Structure 1
């Protein structure tokens, strides 16, 4: 079928229409248009090679970053596209002719005497996470903030993007592209990219590089009638039938304000190894453990009359299940290739856990032994559920049923009038491999760029889980855990208490003798 073309309203030239948005992409776009979800961030700290911290000039850094991002844009077509007819039921990806780099890349420079840029990083993430993406049909839905302090050995690179363009795993792919160029600045990719940079404009070439297909086009899903009926009934049934004890009625849905609160903590590399060892011994993973700890925390902060049971979500990366070919590598694709699954913690389980938690102690005490045992049992159960989901592959997955929703904005608005279903959501994008091998210098440093810290943050979801727990580990370095929630929907003291519990208990697990 020949590709359609339309006139671009901003310059009168013809713009190529690539394809319709897939089912998952349309859902994410509808969430964005309704202000139910704003943005996602994957931020990385790049260690400069010696002696860059002492001799690097601002203009040199700007040129390096511009070229690195240009390479990532040229390599990933999803970074080159806008969305036409976004408000319709048939939005389409359109190929743009160029990208104005200053619309998408911003630099923040600090003098040696300024305060630590870590504070600037935290403030920038809070601000950027909820900022909107203008002119969806004329600009790609992403931007980059670069922070550097003169004389400091690292650069912060914050990648902010819309979820209808791609998922959190794609943020890792983007940073791997950046790191690859920074360590090969005289290679063929760099020379190729510089041909298309004209001052502030990156001209986008006519390319055979294809836009990654939607998930429903790259693999086969199979659905049993019973699963389809049950799932669609849960999604479409009237509010009067939503009576499950696990509903998160303790945090009602409200559409405003569209503001995310964030609290982040890190676990150092030696402790991460100990936690992973403990998880293996208890037949679970760090993501599974976070579910167990979230259950213990909320059960300790909320009384039985308020919350008798809970329900949560895990994000599942489908890339390992997607067939690859010489022309398409799923694990390197920037696309929406994730799904999710839910976990129910029923009244009996929560009733058994609550007596093991001492609700009278002030502050953030360690977990009592009996409570920790319960956490490990819950975590192992969650991991078994995740493994069963992975073993089923593409059978009975919600993604396949999304095609039956003709108007996602109407469906999401309808769902927002019901009780909240999920109390928390755990999304682990895994490990960022930021290591490269360089030549040691006399001072013990290395002569290559490396990623030494990563952070993954998602904005609050108005009608989804009350808490969003986002995890990322930098290989050989620390684990970063970010908790986010919508402002005003719950008591900030409760929200901060839950995240403090996670930090306290993860460190407790790391400190216990094997």
Structure 2
């Protein structure tokens, strides 16, 4: 994707609370050395963070192990003006960075880090950016959790392999042959004849032979436009208290946050697009392979990775699961929404005399009324999405698209062919869960924390912690029209981000959908209105 300019960057931003001893201006050099020493330890632990990519534009690219990594080429420190609204500036910066391609040369790994600080902020924001040839969202989560582990570790000395003056990490010979085999070499991906034929036929059959029902699921309202890459981006936070209300409601309705977001996003699209533009939708969810890898290992691999923690191994270990939002459901959503909107419009007209249509989507009361009217349709579909994911996990690696990769001799050619077809998916959701960013209580042993210990005993202000996380992905020219990402820091806010291709999805549509989700999050934060009556009615959008 990177080599064809169909995608530019992924990033996970984490806000690290800095110990008081490293906050003074005169300690800035020490702060830099401490952070970069922690990064060097992470690189020594994770082989894919220290490989280049040979033959990026070829049919058979390959990883190349490096002798050294130059941090001056990958890590930038930047101090921002504390007088501006920093969080607004951060969101704008993330958007700009998402549009800058992560290079994947043969001589350096495909990642970069931007570290931000502000005057008297008491924190640094570490933005880890990567390309999907080397890593995925769970890898980024592991990176930041490992960063916290090393920063709070007992050994704060500079690793002998890292020179803080030259900022070069030298890879020892003993570490240059510890790259894991490919996923296909590690795990078995059995596929049945029926699954294989159906998938290959659906992928390669002529467009004129596409079944009517299949065409209706495609996102033709968001045309594929290669050649001019530009990602739009928005994000918002949901308070920890509001998040707990949402999770409680999900449990009552036997679904998850991912299932609910899929249902809400597609309900919002149904309300914003006409029947002529979209009669039904297909969404997708990113699924992490790691929990399934151990039971899918072949006999040879079991011996090779006996001592490897596969759950915390970095790499691109993911697949996708599709969800169908059929024509009947979309029609019901639109019908219920029109009835509710007409009633609200008449009320607003009598009160305000004039109200523009777009204002209805921004009106907190309007969005709340709509979701109350639609919740009987949203929750069952959210439950179905969860069922799709459970089924995939229960089946393990059987009948997954990964098992068909052996039939693809040229992935670049496959992606180019996809650019000739209508867009297949409307919304893709990637939820990497909760980052454990709490500083251990025990000063002597971070693995054996002292529960309930007071700050006075533990010296909490001398420990690092992660207080905030934001997960962001640039748009994919050939992928879903909109991409939604979720992550939360433990006991902190949940951040939801949304990205889309500038010239394929209008700002009114993408920004309106994201804004609608944020409006109900605001309702949940205030705890006002009929949605706060009971957990089963705490429906976000």
Match of 1:422 in 2: 425
2:188 alignment partner, one of 220, 237, 244: 220
- Per-residue CA deviation, residues 267-296 of structure 1 (Å, 9 max, x unaligned), is 011111111111011000000000110111
Change in 2 beyond 3 A, CA 1:133/1:333: same
Question: Which stretch of the first structure deviates more once superposed, 390-399 or 204-213?
Answer: 204-213
Which runs of 5 or more residues in structure 2 are unaligned?
295-301, 346-359, 442-453, 536-541
Match of 2:132 in 1: 163
Alpha-carbon contact 1:183-1:449 (below 8 Å) kept = yes
2:373 alignment partner, one of 366, 370, 375: 370
Match of 1:283 in 2: 254
1:249 alignment partner, one of 220, 236, 251: 220
Q: Distance in 2 between matches of 1:95 and 1:344?
A: 42
SS where residue 373 of structure 1 aligns?
Answer: helix
Alpha-carbon contact 1:251-1:466 (below 8 Å) kept = yes
1:495 alignment partner, one of 510, 514, 517: 510
Report how far residue 496 of structure 1 moved. Answer: 0.8
Change in 2 beyond 3 A, CA 1:182/1:444: closer
Q: Distance in 2 between matches of 1:256 and 1:485?
A: 15
Match of 1:34 in 2: 4
Change in 2 beyond 3 A, CA 1:479/1:398: same
Report how far residue 124 of structure 1 moved. Answer: 2.4
Match of 1:28 in 2: none
1:314 alignment partner, one of 277, 285, 288: 285
SS where residue 245 of structure 1 aligns?
Answer: helix
Change in 2 beyond 3 A, CA 1:195/1:313: closer
- Per-residue CA deviation, residues 176-225 of structure 1 (Å, 9 max, x unaligned), is 121111112635xx453555556222111113462233222222111110
Match of 2:538 in 1: none
Is 1:203 equivalent to 2:170 in the alignment?
yes
- Per-residue CA deviation, residues 373-417 of structure 1 (Å, 9 max, x unaligned), is 211111001101111111111111111112211111111111111
Alpha-carbon contact 2:430-2:486 (below 8 Å) kept = yes
Match runs of 1:99-498 below 5 Å: 99-110=69-80, 113-134=82-103, 136-184=105-153, 186-187=155-156, 190-193=157-160, 195=162, 199-208=166-175, 210-242=178-210, 243=212, 244-323=215-294, 326-358=306-338, 359=341, 362-364=360-362, 365-366=367-368, 367-438=370-441, 440-441=455-456, 446-498=461-513
Change in 2 beyond 3 A, CA 1:219/1:56: farther
Question: Which stretch of the first structure deviates more once superposed, 367-376 or 31-40?
Answer: 367-376
Match of 2:444 in 1: none
Q: Distance in 2 between matches of 1:504 and 1:494?
A: 15
TM-score, structure 2 normalization: 0.85
Change in 2 beyond 3 A, CA 1:464/1:135: closer
Report how far residue 473 of structure 1 moved. Answer: 1.2
Report how far residue 125 of structure 1 moved. Answer: 1.3
Q: Distance in 1 between matches of 2:321 and 2:328?
A: 21
SS where residue 222 of structure 1 aligns?
Answer: coil
Report how far residue 506 of structure 1 moved. Answer: 4.3
Q: Distance in 1 between matches of 2:495 and 2:136?
A: 18
Match of 2:37 in 1: 67
In the comparison of the two structures, how many residue pairs are matched?
481
Change in 2 beyond 3 A, CA 1:326/1:405: closer
SS where residue 108 of structure 1 aligns?
Answer: strand
Which runs of 5 or more residues in structure 1 are unaligned?
1-30
TM-score, structure 1 normalization: 0.89
Report how far residue 437 of structure 1 moved. Answer: 2.7
Change in 2 beyond 3 A, CA 1:180/1:56: farther
SS where residue 461 of structure 1 aligns?
Answer: coil
Q: Which has the higher helix share?
A: 2
Change in 2 beyond 3 A, CA 1:213/1:114: farther
Alpha-carbon contact 1:212-1:335 (below 8 Å) kept = no
Change in 2 beyond 3 A, CA 1:469/1:436: same
SS where residue 461 of structure 2 aligns?
Answer: coil
Report how far residue 117 of structure 1 moved. Answer: 3.2
RMSD in angstroms over aligned alpha carbons?
2.1
SS where residue 69 of structure 1 aligns?
Answer: helix
